Amino acid sequence: MGIETADVVIVGSRCAGTAAAVPLARAGREVVLLDRARFPADALSTHVLVPNGVAELERMGALERILALNPARPQHLRIEDGDMVVRERFRPFDGIPYGVCVPRKLQDECLVAAARDAGADVREKHTVTNVVWRGGRAAGVAYTDADGTERELHAKLVVGADGRRSRVAAEVGAWTPYRGSRNGRGFAFRYMDDPQAGTERYDEFGVYRAERTVALTLPSTPDGRVLVVWMCPAEDIPSFRADAEAAWQRKLDGDPAIAARLAGATNMTKVRSTADLSAYYRRSSGRGWALAGDAGHFKDPVTGNGMRDALRHGRLLGEAAATTLDDPFALDAALRRWERGRDQDTLSTYHWGNRESRPEPVGDLVREVLRTFSGDDAPDVSDTFNRARTIEAIISPDHLVKGLVAALRRPGADRARILRQVARELPLEWQARRNRRLDGFRSTRPTGTERPDWTVGPAPGPPSWRVAATGAAPADVRAETPAAA
């Protein structure tokens, strides 16, 4: 078995892995990324970035390649639910006022190229089998290379950026999340030629609500294409797999607004779908290791923040490690601070996603609260997707009160039902705020936004230390693994 050394080994070469690699390589660190895919390679994803995410592409040096693909560059968000319409422009980030939606097969190839440009060594068709331990610390990985040869790569830091079914998470004893929530929705999507290309609607990322389904229209790449996503009840997903075209038509028939938006669309791809969308937090740092992107945290895709968080917190992980790699104690402390910062930044959207993933019609109260933002195109609701402000700061008590009063005053309003909605939603609002501000790091205290019976599925094989002759876990895994794991 061949053995080599590097400063950092990153397992996974997509959003989080490449974003972490760039600052490390720019700092002169020897970084090796291992990925079992050969790029270009597709991934199941809604793959939309609003301006704050596009700014991350620029920071890592990938934006020039992305723009060379001639993507649409929408500068507005549209939310439509019956007669309620909100249309807002996005707040610019680092001078960037637009979003992009590039298929992962194209986008991730640009990210890999940016990592290589920065000096990282990206190796494709390499499959990691286990983490190597030394003195109670993660000290590298064992893997099989593209030729089928078994090798070891030793490093000061092991980063798992290998997605929801993270082999690294299983190896370090962090497979079972310490908190999570079952998602009542699945998603089904396809690309098509946009009949609204060149119009105002092609300058919008659209959110269309009707009954129990949310539809997204995301102008894409190359210019003139659009990605359409149905965020529908999870029980609808089997119908897409049984007869995709019939299921697609039923969704169009259920919402005249989205049917009008897409009327005349042509050149459609096949429908892809999934109902495996449970949200979670895994313990994401330990002695010599970290989990980045979906390997450590995942939330409902309807928030449009998954790739942004992977890029941003991958970058912040790389920056934190670049200056502390040579001191194990400083490195471990920096990784823990990084994880804490990631959680503080993502908890608000985690709870928002949990509430949005209830497969039920939007209530009168929520509709009227959203209506309070209509009237001009200044960034407000769009700041939730753009992460310019927390959701709690945007959906302020003033907007909540105005929405409640408007809902109660509407002709024919079912006031008893609206007040029941208030009684249900206020505890969720309080518990989400409490969790974010008061419950502390890695809190396992449940909130009302979370639904039980969630699962992330079986681990990808038992950790190597569980099948070793001794059967004993490394010291740091024994000390830090929750009982539930």
- 3-state SS, the chain, equals CEEEECCEEEECCCHHHHHHHHHHHHCCCCEEEEECCCCCCCCCCCCCECHHHHHHHHHHCCHHHHHHCCCCCCCEEEEEECCEEEEEECCCECCECCCECCCHHHHHHHHHHHHHHHCCEEEECCEEEEEEEECCEEEEEEEECCCCCEEEEECCEEEECCCCCCHHHHHCCCCCCCEEECCCEEEEEEEEECCCCCCHHHHEEEEEEECCEEEEEEECCCCCEEEEEEEEEHHHHHHHHHCHHHHHHHHHHCCHHHHHHHCCCECCCCCEEECCCCEEECCCEECCEEECHHHCEECCHHHCCHHHHHHHHHHHHHHHHHCCCCCHHHHHHHHHHHHHHHHHHHHHHHHHHHHHCCCCCCCHHHHHHHHCCCCCCCCCCHHHHHCCCCHHHHCCHHHHHHHHHHHHHCCCCCHHHHHHHHHHHHHHHHHHHHHHHCCCCCCCCCCCCCCCCCCCCCCCCCCHHHHCCCCCCCHHHHHHCCCCC
Band (468; pLDDT cuts 50, 70, 90): low
pLDDT at 377 over 70: yes
Tell me whether domains 2-71+100-179+284-354+453-480 and 185-273 share a fold: no
* Whole-number pLDDT of residue 125: 95
What is the tens place of the pLDDT at every residue in 157-169? 999 999 999 999 9
pLDDT at 288 over 60: yes
Band (226; pLDDT cuts 50, 70, 90): very high
Q: What's the pTM?
A: 0.93
pLDDT at 40 over 90: no
* Whole-number pLDDT of residue 485: 32
**CATH 3.40.50.300, domain 185-273, yes or no:** no
Band (137; pLDDT cuts 50, 70, 90): very high
* Whole-number pLDDT of residue 1: 58
pLDDT at 139 over 90: yes
Tell me the domain boundaries of the chain: 2-71+100-179+284-354+453-480, 185-273, 356-437
Least confident of 60-69, 197-206, 462-471: 462-471
What is the tens place of the pLDDT at every residue in 335-358? 999 999 999 999 999 999 998 888
* Whole-number pLDDT of residue 309: 96
- CA–CA gap between residue 398 and residue 389 (Å, rounded): 16
* Whole-number pLDDT of residue 27: 98
Mean of per-residue pLDDT scores for the chain: 91
What is the tens place of the pLDDT at every residue in 441-457? 999 999 999 999 999 98
* High-pLDDT (> 70) share of the chain, %: 96
* Whole-number pLDDT of residue 351: 93
What is the tens place of the pLDDT at every residue in 298-337? 998 888 889 999 999 999 999 999 999 999 999 999 999 9
What is the tens place of the pLDDT at every residue in 5-17? 999 999 999 999 9
* Whole-number pLDDT of residue 43: 77
* High-pLDDT (> 90) share of the chain, %: 73
- Tell me the CATH architecture of domain 2-71+100-179+284-354+453-480: 3-Layer(bba) Sandwich (3.50)
Averaged pLDDT, 64-77: 96
* Whole-number pLDDT of residue 435: 92
